[in-house]
Amino acid sequence: MKKQLLNYETLIKVTKAISHSKDPEEVVLMTVETIKMSLDAKGCTVFLINRKTNELEVAASFGLSKEYINKGPLSALRSIAESLRDGPVAIYDVADDPRIQYPEAAKKEGIASILSVPIVAGGNLIGAMRVYTADPFEFSLEDVNFIQAMANMTGMAIDMARYYKGLKDSIEILKKLRDPKTLKRGQRTPNEGVPEGAPKSTGPRK
């Protein structure tokens, strides 16, 4: 992952997409790909909290293998839980940090560092956005602010999905995001770790 200043172009594009799209779930899919590509990270994932099970469930992901995404239940109480309670958390070495629930799976996937930030919608905590790097990386304040801004916009997109579709629970949006029948476009290349039918990114590629 490359250190760089806040990508205002990315922020503007995602904000414009949110304000104009009638399919906010597609905006979430576009956002994870845009973050991965614009920051030259290994991957990016959006998780939503299932309040019934206290698990973090994948809503959208880009850059990670299906094997890693399906590694097992991810507990909101164990997996970098501080990022849900207190705000952004950066993990420098996933292989030697007790906050990582599946360190061996992360090592096998080739993940070195993780940044996790909360996602809030309508004033309520609903999930987390996580960025993964292949090499040990110290996230700067600019990196954290950029990812948090993108997470905030993801929360806006989910709020819009609630408005458009009349959904009351964010987990219902998760089900929609993961159901290929609800998406309109062609299938991605294999092993990108995204639901079928996700749109191609319009974000910057550096």
Query: What b/e string do you get for 145-169 counting C-beta neighbours within 10 Å, with b at 16 or more?
Result: ebbbbbbebbbbbbbbbbeeeeeee
Long-range CB contacts (< 8 A, 24+ apart) of 49-56?
Answer: 49/76, 49/84, 49/125, 49/126, 49/127, 49/170, 49/171, 50/171, 50/174, 51/169, 51/171, 52/171, 56/127, 56/128
Q: Which amino acid is at 65?
A: S
Instruction: Establish if 186 belongs to a structural domain.
Output: no
Mean pLDDT for 187-191 is 37
Mean pLDDT for 73-83 is 92
Name beta bridge partners: 190: none
Instruction: Establish if 198 belongs to a structural domain.
Output: no
Instruction: Establish if 2 belongs to a structural domain.
Output: no
pLDDT score, position 178: 55
Average pLDDT, the chain: 78
Cα dist from 12 to 24, 44, 153, 154, 182, whole Å: 16, 19, 11, 13, 26
Instruction: Establish if 53 belongs to a structural domain.
Output: yes
Cα 184 versus chain centre, distance: 21
Do residues 1 and 167 lie in contact, with contact meaning Cβ atoms separated by under 8 Å?
A: no
Q: Give the count of domains, the chain.
A: 1
Instruction: Establish if 197 belongs to a structural domain.
Output: no
Whether pLDDT at 171 is above 70: no
What does the block give as tokens for 62? Answer: 């880009």
The Cα–Cα gap between 156 and 122 comes to 8
Whole-prediction pTM: 0.76
What CATH number did the domain enclosing 151 receive?
A: 3.30.450.40
Instruction: Establish if 23 belongs to a structural domain.
Output: yes
User: pLDDT by residue (tens digit) across 111-151?
Assistant: 999 999 999 988 889 999 999 999 999 998 888 988 998 89
Whether pLDDT at 77 is above 60: yes
Instruction: Establish if 204 belongs to a structural domain.
Output: no
Eight-class DSSP state of 201: P
Instruction: Considering only residues 142 and 102, tell me which one the structure prediction assigns the higher pLDDT.
Output: 102
pLDDT score, position 1: 52
The Cα–Cα gap between 31 and 36 comes to 9
Name beta bridge partners: 43: 132
Instruction: Establish if 115 belongs to a structural domain.
Output: yes
User: pLDDT by residue (tens digit) across 27-75?
Assistant: 788 888 888 887 889 999 999 999 899 999 998 999 999 999 999 999 9
Looking from the CA of 127 toward its CB, the CA atoms found within 13 Å total 29
**Structural domain span for residue 30:** 8-179
The length of the chain is: 206
